[in-house]
Copies of this chain bind each other. A is one copy, B any other.
Amino acid sequence: MNAPTPAEHLLPHVHQREVPAACIDALRQRFGERCSTALAVREQHGRDESSFAAPPPAAVVFAESTADVAAAVALASQYRVPVIPFGVGSSLEGHLLAVQGGISLDVGRMNQVLSVNAEDLTVTVQPGVTRKQLNEAIRSTGLFFPIDPGADASIGGMCATRASGTNAVRYGTMRENVLGLEVVTASGEVIRTGTRARKSSAGYDLTRLMVGSEGTLGVITEITLRIYPLPEAVSAAVCSFPSIEAAVRTTIQIIQIGIPIARVELIDSNTVRMVNAHAKLGLREEPMLLMEFHGSPAGVQEQAQQVQEIASEHGGNAFEWASTPEERTRLWTARHNAYFAAIQSRPGCRAISTDTCVPISRLADCLLDSVAEADASGIPYFLVGHVGDGNFHFGYLLDPAIPQERVTAEQLNHQLVARALALGGTCSGEHGVGLHKMEFLRTEAGDGAVAMMRTIKQALDPHNILNPGKIFAL
């Protein structure tokens, strides 16, 4: 008898719903070659960046239009078959796994930038457009889209998980930057939420109900986003600190006095080492803040000077400037690749990422105790943080051959989440709940609020076909 693998240990009770042959036939008839049952294709769509495993979906449908999505969902509805939207596969919490079977609906080919309204600071895109692709497409307008999770995620996926990233401290998250959506509902109907106006009080906020719903309430087929003028001046700086605490206390003060810093990222010394090795950089291997300032030339200078003073008070040194765009890009690329740098530092490992976010004044309390616990555990880890938001990530790097490591890492994660919740924070700042944080969500939101979420899910998806088994058990 084979013992379950450590990954399978973690999956909630899985009930694979059957996909009838008639459903596959109907999909084939509608989509032809764009409906695949090849094992390699199914396996590629049956996993994400999480450390979970589940059987692959029964089929993968490649949608090229809203009509395609509507047709696929209508067939899934007719046959009561789960349908799981798939962008680029970069989710971290098992969102894409077919835990109840069903079909994967790949919207990666819906990758057109549909309209750029530069004069209104809005853009409308299909869900398969990635954040880098979007910024390439609007570069000539002098505008940019600031939300930047580590991966080059799809905009649809970023909506689904309410993503953010390094610029959120100044520009907000997907919650603040999605103006409107086109959505295919559970019955295969197409609706629109929101308009291109910056604000609205017209009825329930369906846009924000969909943003963060992880594919469980509808399939997003079009997104209208806010975009921003590229700042007149940008300057980035690196500052090393004698301790993580000093870096964190510097951050807290920056936020409390209201300096409109654009980015302020913590990287611990160990992770700086991994990043140096991966990106061939020579950063000082000490706890570090990586910062960026946006504004007018005078404004940027003023902000930077204030921050430099605060950092000095906390023993920050070696305030180094990245003044050219190339240097800045190199630094931020290295930061965005920290996850991959860490993975490569322990060949064959899988990472479990934490994602707590706490009120800014509690950041030091939350972070330092968790660092002590992680150090004591002996498990290799990386630590990076969007500390201006009170959000940070431990990534515990697990050897799959040592099951005890996973047990220990999950225990560290539980302790960290319990600490964050006790401090008024959340279990997830930006990755979403997926499979991994369902228990955490119950603890955080309480049974009443989760029951309300479930009631909404049941009302909008009565046959439970849209990415079932995520966020809460159903």
Contact = CB atoms under 8 A, between A and B. Distances in A.
Contacts of A432: 201-202
Contact of A212 (B176, B203, B212, B452): B203
A18 to B, nearest CB: 28
A229 interface: yes
A189 B455 contact: no
A360 B121 contact: yes
Contacts of A401: none
A327 interface: no
Contacts of A200: 162, 357, 426, 428-429
A16 to B, nearest CB: 25
Interface in A309-368: 355, 357-362
Given A202-B428, A455-B459, 4 more contacts: A191-B452, A199-B429, A203-B449, A229-B258
Given A120-B360, A302-B299, A355 B192 contact: no
Give the 5 A-B CB pairs with smallest separation, nearest first.
A459-B459, A229-B258, A191-B448, A119-B361, A120-B359
A209 B212 contact: no
A282 interface: no
Interface stretch (A25-33, A36-44, A97-105, A439-447): A439-447
Contacts of A185: 448, 452
A442 to B, nearest CB: 9
Nearest to A255: B121
Contacts of A50: none
A78 interface: no
B359 A446 contact: no
A150 interface: no
Contacts of A444: 195, 202
Nearest to A122: B359
Interface string A269-311: 0000000000000000000000000011011001000000000
B440 A202 contact: yes
Contact of A193 (B193, B258, B445): B445
Interface string A414-430: 00000001001111111
A205 B201 contact: no
A65 B288 CA distance: 47
B208 A175 contact: yes
Contacts of A173: 199
A131 to B, nearest CB: 16
A456 B358 contact: no
Nearest to A430: B201
A359 B196 contact: yes
Given A119-B360, A120-B360, A229-B257, A202 B302 contact: no
B446 A452 contact: no
A446 B191 contact: yes
A5 interface: no
Contact of A201 (B163, B358, B455): B163
A191 B229 contact: no
A448 B190 contact: yes
Interface in A90-129: 117, 119-122
A203 B450 contact: yes
A204 B209 contact: yes
A205 B449 contact: no
Given A456-B456, A458-B459, A229 B202 contact: no
A205 B360 contact: no
A193 B193 CA distance: 22
B361 A206 contact: no
Given A196-B425, A425-B195, A231 B202 contact: no
A220 to B, nearest CB: 14
A460 interface: yes
Contacts of A163: 201
